[in-house]
């Protein structure tokens, strides 16, 4: 907090913060703009009975857009799903792999363009399924969801939801470019945080009605605080590999002869694995909830958040994406080559291929523990809370996303302030000369 007073003294940082908050405010305003033709009263009754189901999880990630059936009802999840598909295809497609690794910035722009096309396709499919489901669904009192069903409503819903998701995708890119932090993560973070006050009020209301005892509420509060502390502790956890640099003489000067370390985070993938896992599990279950087909209803019952099948699949997908995303983000071969070029070595390990194998082995080992940590944080609180009937906003997935994104956001601000401090010191040194 000592660095907060310095924010106003850095015009560029203040501008980035204003951009971030302004774009997030636009997102929150759009959450309250409903799709034309939907009965809001019948929709509110329907979602009142679906808080602790997959609809509740999807609504949490969409920031309340689904329960309002707003233009941002699908949230940013179609873009995340398209990113998952493109990243998986990159592993098996030589052309996409070449674009990612050899073409540089132009290749990354091409992959981003493909991701946008995939987002539009997924949004159209999901939008049509939601439109058809709304026409066939009714509130618990029997009131129809759609005022005037038909082809016109379906087309209007598909166009509205597609435009809303594309606009959200653009907002995320603008936050990444002009603001601070990863735009997609910031949008999900803002949606979860915006729902925390209402979730807290709802939990207190349940206690006053006698559905939750004071002891259970205190237990959940203590458990949440302990989970937050555990998340912060694990997110800061590192395995530091020592690196020695041999002395080298260049002209009359001697370089090297120092010892540093290579930090490997326990959770290199961050909040991406639980977001990806939730996106994959919510897509078929959401379609099933809006349909009356029996086999789709069976899928929905199997994928209820308190079922063993759902949690086992959730853990498996989290572990897979922890390794998959770490492999994409971290390149042991390139790091080993850079260490060798700079005259460095890991004590007891030969430079080159042996160094790469050692780094890869250490990274695989700590990633396994990181995957177990993420799985435990996401699953155990959800199992406990679902048994007490508390909203999903207090589950491990939401806490992990909120804490992870907040730590990344503050870390970026701190790095920016430190870099500006060094720039100021360098400028003063130049004037002194």
End-to-end CA distance of the chain: 34
Q: For the chain, how big is the Rg over CA atoms in Å?
A: 25
Query: Strand order in 259-265's β-sheet?
Result: 259-265, 238-245, 344-345
pLDDT in the model for residue 196: 79
Rounded Cα distance, 345 and 355, in Å = 8
Rounded Cα distance, 413 and 423, in Å = 15
pLDDT in the model for residue 22: 92
CATH numbers and ranges of domains, the chain: 4-432 (1.10.3370.10)
pLDDT in the model for residue 421: 62
Burial grade of 205 (CB within 10 A; 0-12, 13-18, 19 or more): exposed
Half-sphere exposure of 330 (CA within 13 A, CB side): 25
Q: Which residue has the tokens 């209803």?
A: 297
Q: Do residues 198 and 192 touch, judged by C-beta distance below 8 A?
A: no
Q: Which residues of the chain have pLDDT under 70?
A: 1-9, 48-57, 101-104, 140, 247-257, 283-297, 299-301, 303-306, 381-395, 420-433
Rounded Cα distance, 21 and 175, in Å = 9
Rounded Cα distance, 333 and 330, in Å = 9
Q: Which residue has the tokens 């310095």?
A: 6
Q: Do residues 262 and 295 touch, judged by C-beta distance below 8 A?
A: no
CB atoms within 10 A of CB 397: 27
Tokens describing residue 118: 């995939």
pLDDT in the model for residue 55: 64
pLDDT in the model for residue 213: 77
Tokens describing residue 269: 């993938």
Rounded Cα distance, 297 and 285, in Å = 9
pLDDT in the model for residue 391: 56
């Amino acid at each position: 907090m000592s660095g907060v007073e310095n924010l106003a003294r850095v015009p560029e940082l203040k501008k980035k913060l204003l951009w971030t908050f302004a774009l997030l405010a636009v997102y929150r305003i759009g959450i309250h703009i409903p799709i034309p033709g939907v009965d809001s009263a019948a929709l509110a009754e329907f979602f009142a009975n679906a808080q602790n189901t997959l609809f509740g999880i999807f609504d949490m990630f969409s920031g309340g857009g689904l329960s309002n059936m707003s233009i941002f009802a699908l949230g940013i999840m179609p873009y995340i799903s398209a990113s998952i598909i493109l990243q998986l295809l990159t592993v098996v497609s030589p052309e996409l792999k070449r674009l990612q690794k050899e073409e540089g910035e132009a290749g990354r722009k091409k992959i981003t363009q493909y991701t946008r096309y995939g987002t539009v396709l997924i949004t159209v499919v999901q939008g049509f399924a939601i439109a058809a489901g709304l026409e066939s669904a009714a509130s618990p009192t029997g009131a129809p969801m759609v005022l005037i069903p038909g082809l016109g409503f379906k087309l209007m819903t598909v166009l509205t939801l597609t435009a809303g998701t594309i606009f959200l995708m653009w907002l995320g890119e603008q936050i990444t470019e002009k603001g601070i932090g990863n735009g997609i993560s910031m949008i999900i973070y803002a949606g979860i945080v915006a729902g925390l006050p209402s979730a807290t009020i709802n939990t207190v209301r349940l206690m006053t009605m006698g559905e939750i005892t004071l002891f259970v509420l205190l237990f959940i509060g203590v458990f949440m605080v302990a989970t937050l502390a555990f998340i912060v502790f694990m997110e800061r956890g590192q395995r530091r590999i020592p690196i020695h640099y041999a002395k080298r003489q260049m002209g009359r000067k001697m370089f090297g002869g120092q010892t540093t370390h290579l930090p490997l985070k326990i959770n290199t993938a961050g909040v991406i694995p639980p977001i990806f896992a939730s996106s994959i599990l919510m897509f078929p279950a959401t379609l099933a909830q809006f349909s009356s087909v029996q086999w789709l209803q069976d899928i929905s019952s199997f994928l209820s958040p308190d079922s063993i099948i759902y949690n086992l699949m959730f853990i498996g997908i989290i572990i897979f994406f922890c390794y998959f995303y770490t492999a994409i983000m971290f390149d042991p071969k390139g790091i080993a080559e850079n260490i060798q070029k700079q005259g460095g070595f890991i004590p007891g390990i030969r430079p080159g291929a042996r160094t790469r194998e050692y780094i890869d082995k250490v990274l695989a080992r700590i990633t396994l523990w990181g995957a177990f940590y993420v799985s435990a944080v996401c699953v155990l609180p959800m199992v406990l809370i679902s048994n007490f009937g508390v909203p999903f906003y207090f589950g491990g997935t939401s806490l992990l996303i909120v804490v992870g994104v907040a730590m990344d956001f503050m870390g970026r601000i701190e790095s920016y302030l430190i870099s500006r401090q060094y720039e100021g010191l360098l400028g003063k040194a130049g004037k002194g000369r």
